[in-house]
Amino acid sequence: MPNMLGIDAVRGIRSLGRKMLIIMVTTEAGKSRVIDALKARVSNYAIKPFEPATIGSKIQEVLNKAGGSS
């Protein structure tokens, strides 16, 4: 993402009081990066590369947690 790290974008969105669901998609697989993302209140985290079924299950997990399962 040009001009800003994804984690900074998440922090900026959350600092505005936004309650939207956010799934971070990144190549950052290190444990500390995942922990930072969770502390920034991402809804879920997907590490690239991934299979289509993986992102589908991440989306479903987030929707289930939010009470909007389909």
Note the pLDDT of residue 2: 79
pLDDT tens-digit readout, 15-32: 999 999 999 999 999 999
Domain boundaries, the chain: 6-66
The mean pLDDT values, 10 residues at a time, for the chain of 70 residues are 90 95 95 96 96 96 83
Sign of CA dihedral 24, 44, 10, 5: negative
CATH of domain 6-66: 3.40.50.2300
